[in-house]
Chains A and B, each alone.
Chain A
Amino acid sequence: MAGGSKLSPALQALVDKGLFDRLPATFSTFFFEQMQDWETLFPAERNYHERLFTLLDRSDPAMVEGLFEPLRRIEQTMGVNEKNWPRRHFTLDQVDFLNRSPRYPEWRKAVADIFARLDPLLEDEITRAGHSRLVVVIAPAELPVGPDRMWLRIRQHGKRIPLEAPEDVGDYLPLLLTGAGRKDAASSIAAKYATKGEAYDAWAVEAGGSLADAGAERVVALSYERLRDYRARLMSEVRHIVETQEVRGPRQLSAKLKDLKIRASEGDVSRDPVLAEFARAILLSGNGTLLVNNTFVEWSTVQAVRRARPSVAIVSFGIRNKIKPFSSLLIYADQDTTNPIPTQMDTLGTYVDLEIFYQYIWQEFEKYAEYRRNTAYLFVGEGMDELLAIAPPDFPLPAATKPTKLAEVFASMKDWMNL
């Protein structure tokens, strides 16, 4: 393998016997390129690749040929050849080639059709090995609305549960996530699960930095706030690259960004190469993850679901700051330092932003067989006296006639996860 990254023996054997060379170029090259970074892939990704290509290898060759025949035909009409599509190299040039092809919509459909046939087979295995999963999505206390205006896009899928909120709002999240008050500093549900789960199986993604305190070593803790030094350096370096015109355009910029890895002093995730690369990719994905705390939280969560398939995910949003005059022109500038106007919270804007993010996050989990029919989603607003639960019927949250205590919610989550 190029790049010095070693595949699993099973997958390497499939490469050696020429499986990838027998598949259509646009399909095999994409996956081959992804596998180049084998050592920075999550176990769930490795497992997926192995299952996918093992399935193709063990299937009837005529059936495989028939499955890929429409894609081959479209590749021909697109003019895919060895020159514009070198085997085993998938770069932004190939993305560009696809995007600009008049046949791109047909190509997308052909690929979607292939997965429409493969996914049910692959998902069967997943479903058979299914287990309970838990997702807690927390909105910040400063939102200017009550629970009656929360989760409007998804509430029809779940049930609003009345809560007995503690007098001290500072105890709200500790009671919910640990079952005890702040002063007890008990282990969180994520930390408890992490001790028995696999690596990368419990995640805490947050805009602030409070969840990480309650975490344990095996919880993947990603905090926008705690990555501040890394973010600042990335913005500075990207701005330097762009301003000094070291790159011609986004494609060249993308190659340069690959080298901007997190340093040991910039965050704990630097200790784990898989997470270090994950953080780099999240922050430099081209969207607003460098600039907007909640975009970081949403995109990190979506990517964690796609790539790592965690069993427990605690997702905590914050309040976004108001965008300052002129700052929209400075994409890679730290607004706090380049603009002397005091930073102000945008609580109403945050509320609007989060309403759609709740939907996106819930939808993303539900795309995957791992989560369907066995995941409890609890949408919580810090300090609020209601939560929204979207969960299978056997999730043990009381069918409350009176408000439920947060410690009881914690106990239900613990039961659900067999802890």
Chain B
Amino acid sequence: MFALSKRRFIQLAGLSIANRIVPNRLCGAAKQASAGRKVIIVTFGGGVRYAETFAPEGLRNIPRLVEMKPRGLFFRSCANAGVLSHYNSTASILTGNWQRVDDFGFQPPASPTIFEYYRKATGAGPTDAWAIATNKSFSMIGAGSGRDLGQPYGPNLVLPKQLLLEAVQGAAAKNADAGVANRENVLRHLETILSEGYEGVGWTIFKAGRQLDRAVRETLAHALVEYINGPEAPSSGDELTFFIAREVMREFAPRLMLVNFWDMDVAHWGSYSLYLQAITKTDRLTGMLWEEIQSNPSYKDKTTLLILPELGRDGDINAANGFLNHRSGDASCRNMWMLARGAGVPAGDIERPVFHVDLAATAGELLGIKAGEMTGRPMREILS
């Protein structure tokens, strides 16, 4: 029954083995891009406090990061001095300037992102810069509102959770008796979504040509179907994001990528145990991403991985409601850490405080490009 559904899905979605073969020009672009240093920024995200991560009592939640830290460069203080919303915080990381646009993603960042600078400076194609985000309000985060750069230089942007959400909601709405846990049901709706089109349901694929869009979409959609059917079926948005990120790395080997994890924002539900579980899961997925870098020839020994939470959460003392929220502006919300690991990065602990806006400037230097005006400054310790 399962296999039948899968076959039917592939037929309906118009996917075939032929479509798995990436067009030659895509392969060429990927090969060309792999020549230089690659940068992957991971927002260890959704909001997590020092207390549950690199504070002594938090180490048990992040065994993979603890394992990675001794051979990486650990910045003890990486501060978010901007707006404490997910969108503005992440946009600040990507632009190198503190962003103060709409908190809920209804506006693009006010200044260019590192994706735009990178693509403009190098002439890299759209498959060489990707943003994969669990947070489904991030559809406009890839490119700023400026006229000189903007969308034409933005990244391919995928919102995997939104894609799955549409499928799950469709299944729940149309067949409430069977329930959403019925994977057949979910797949049926996923089929419909994928065959109906992707705009507005999780994909903002760069429009460099309809043919290219389709190829990219079909390649990933096919893999997604395999994944959902497979033994590692996802149970959360971040698992889906990891999977898409890994597929992108394998298929397109981009030089610049943002992987936005977000599930630990489940803390808003008020369950500390679910929050801790999400942290541990994000830790595991980050570890798996590092393993992929190590095992993928396009990335091994030429990739710098930059891992940081985009924001913290309110402290336990004198805050509105502690870990549930992240708006108080106290130190627990703002003071985070950053871990750099990979090609050319020395091992060590850095006391010097750095800021979220320093990430884009650092990524620019790692990629060998001259970015525009940024508040942030390159982290010289990574570059030395």
- Chain A positions within 8 Å of B, measured between CB atoms, are 96, 99-102, 104-105, 108, 243, 248-250, 286-289, 291-292, 294-295, 298-299, 302, 320, 323-330, 333, 337-341, 346, 348-353, 355-357, 359-360, 363, 367
CB A367 to nearest CB in B, in angstroms, measures: 7
CB A207 to nearest CB in B, in angstroms, measures: 12
Residue of A nearest to B278 (CB): A328
- Docked-complex contact B270 and A330, CB < 8 angstroms: no
- B263 within 8 A of partner (CB): yes
Interface size range on B against A: 35 or more
CB A158 to nearest CB in B, in angstroms, measures: 18
Among the listed stretches B142-150, B175-183, B208-216, B363-371, which one makes contact with chain A, having 4 or more residues with CB under 8 Å of it? B175-183
Cross-interface CB contact of B274 among A323, A329, A351, A359, cutoff 8 Å: A323
Q: Considering residues B164, B323, B324, which has the most beta carbons from chain A within 10 angstroms of its beta carbon? A: B324
Q: List residues of chain A with CB within 8 A of the CB of B168.
A: 326, 329-330
Residue of A nearest to B173 (CB): A243
Q: List residues of chain B with CB within 8 A of the CB of A99.
A: 83-85, 103, 327
- Docked-complex contact A337 and B103, CB < 8 angstroms: no
- B172 within 8 A of partner (CB): yes
Kindly state the separation between the CA atoms of A326 and B172 in the bound complex, as whole angstroms: 11
- Docked-complex contact A325 and B179, CB < 8 angstroms: no
Cross-interface CB contact of B237 among A323, A325, A329, cutoff 8 Å: A329
- Docked-complex contact B181 and A329, CB < 8 angstroms: no
A329 and B327 in contact, given A99-B83, A320-B271 (Cβ under 8 angstroms): no
Q: List residues of chain A with CB within 8 A of the CB of B180.
A: 326-327, 330, 333, 338-339
- B235 within 8 A of partner (CB): yes
Cross-interface CB contact of A340 among B182, B266, B327, cutoff 8 Å: B182
Q: List residues of chain A with CB within 8 A of the CB of B85.
A: 99
- Docked-complex contact A359 and B316, CB < 8 angstroms: yes
Q: List residues of chain A with CB within 8 A of the CB of B235.
A: 325-326
Cross-interface CB contact of A328 among B98, B169, B178, B263, cutoff 8 Å: B263
- Docked-complex contact A100 and B100, CB < 8 angstroms: yes
Cross-interface CB contact of B176 among A248, A338, A360, cutoff 8 Å: A338
- Docked-complex contact B181 and A287, CB < 8 angstroms: no
- Docked-complex contact B270 and A288, CB < 8 angstroms: yes
Cross-interface CB contact of B322 among A104, A326, A327, A360, cutoff 8 Å: A360
A324 and B103 in contact, given A286-B268, A302-B321, A349-B273 (Cβ under 8 angstroms): no
Write the B154-165 contact mask toward A (1 if CB under 8 angstroms, else 0): 000000010011
A353 and B273 in contact, given A286-B268, A326-B180, A328-B237 (Cβ under 8 angstroms): yes
- Docked-complex contact A324 and B181, CB < 8 angstroms: yes
- Docked-complex contact A294 and B270, CB < 8 angstroms: yes
Residue of B nearest to A302 (CB): B321
- Docked-complex contact A338 and B172, CB < 8 angstroms: yes
- Docked-complex contact B270 and A298, CB < 8 angstroms: yes
- Docked-complex contact B169 and A356, CB < 8 angstroms: no
Q: List residues of chain A with CB within 8 A of the CB of B296.
A: none
CB B124 to nearest CB in A, in angstroms, measures: 32
Write the B162-206 contact mask toward A (1 if CB under 8 angstroms, else 0): 001100110011001011111000100000000000000000000
Write the B20-45 contact mask toward A (1 if CB under 8 angstroms, else 0): 00000000000000000000000000
Residue of B nearest to A303 (CB): B321
Kindly state the separation between the CA atoms of A351 and B269 in the bound complex, as whole angstroms: 16
- Docked-complex contact B270 and A352, CB < 8 angstroms: no
- Docked-complex contact B236 and A100, CB < 8 angstroms: no
Kindly state the separation between the CA atoms of A353 and B274 in the bound complex, as whole angstroms: 8
- B329 within 8 A of partner (CB): yes
Kindly state the separation between the CA atoms of A248 and B137 in the bound complex, as whole angstroms: 12
Kindly state the separation between the CA atoms of A299 and B271 in the bound complex, as whole angstroms: 12
- Docked-complex contact A102 and B98, CB < 8 angstroms: yes
CB A303 to nearest CB in B, in angstroms, measures: 10
Cross-interface CB contact of A295 among B176, B270, B317, cutoff 8 Å: B270
